């Protein structure tokens, strides 16, 4: 992940691969270190996505 520095940089470059132009048919067959890394990153981050609620009552998420 690129960290911001002075504000003159282009911006944030995420670790999310842009699949906007990729069909499902093609996505099913993509196989490269890049796609594997992107999948691994997305899967690993699911444990860190927050729930926000007005109150603290209720269940806890499976993590």
Partner 1 sequence: MPPEPDDTASSLGQHRLSWPDFDALARGKGGPDAIRRLRAAERSRRLLLMRALVDETTKSADMFYPLPSPELAWELLARAQQAAPSSVESILAHPYTGSWLGYTTRLYRQGVSGVCPLWVHIGHVHCLAAAAAIRAGITFEIEVPVWQGNVILPTLGLARLNAAQPASVATVRGQEGIAEVGQEESWVHVLGADPRWQPLRKAVLWTKDRRLSLRLDDVDPYRGLYEPRRPSRLTAFEIESWRTVLDRAWQLLVTHLPAVAEALPEGLESIVPAPAVPFRLPSASTGEAFGSAVIAYSEDPAALAAALVHEFQHIRLGGLLHLTRLHEDDDRERFYAPWRDDPRPLGGVVHGIYAFFGVTAFWRALSFAEPEDLPAAFEFALWRVQTWRTLQAIQNDNALTSSGRRLLAGIAEELAPWQDEPILPESLLWANRAIADHHIGWRIRHLRPDPGTVAGLAHAWRTGTPWPGRVPQHRKPTPIPDGNWPDARTDLIRLRLRDDSASTLPSKGPSVPGATSADIAFVAGRIGDAITGYRRELTADPDSPSALAGLALALSTWSTGPVPRALVRHPELVRAVHRLLRHDADASPEAVAGWIGQLTF
Vertex 20, ends 1 and 7: CA angle to 5°? Answer: 35
Q: For residues 61 and 51, is the Cβ–Cβ distance under 8 A? A: yes
SS3 31: coil
Tell me how many residues contact partner 1 (CB under 8 A).
53
- Smallest separation, CB 53 to partner 1 (Å): 4
**Location of structure tokens 């007005």:** 54
- Per-position x/- string for 2-41, each x denoting binding to partner 1 as judged by CB under 8 A, each - no binding: -xxx-x-xxxxxxxxxxxxxxxxxxxxxxxx-xx--xx--
Binding residues vs partner 1 (CB under 8 A):
1, 3-5, 7, 9-32, 34-35, 38-39, 42-43, 45-56, 58-63
């Amino acid at each position: 992940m690129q960290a911001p520095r002075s504000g003159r940089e282009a911006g944030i470059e995420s670790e999310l691969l842009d699949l906007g132009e990729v069909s499902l048919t093609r996505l099913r067959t993509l196989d490269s270190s890049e796609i594997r890394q992107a999948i691994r990153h997305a899967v690993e981050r699911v444990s860190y996505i927050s729930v926000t609620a007005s109150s603290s009552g209720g269940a806890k998420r499976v993590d």
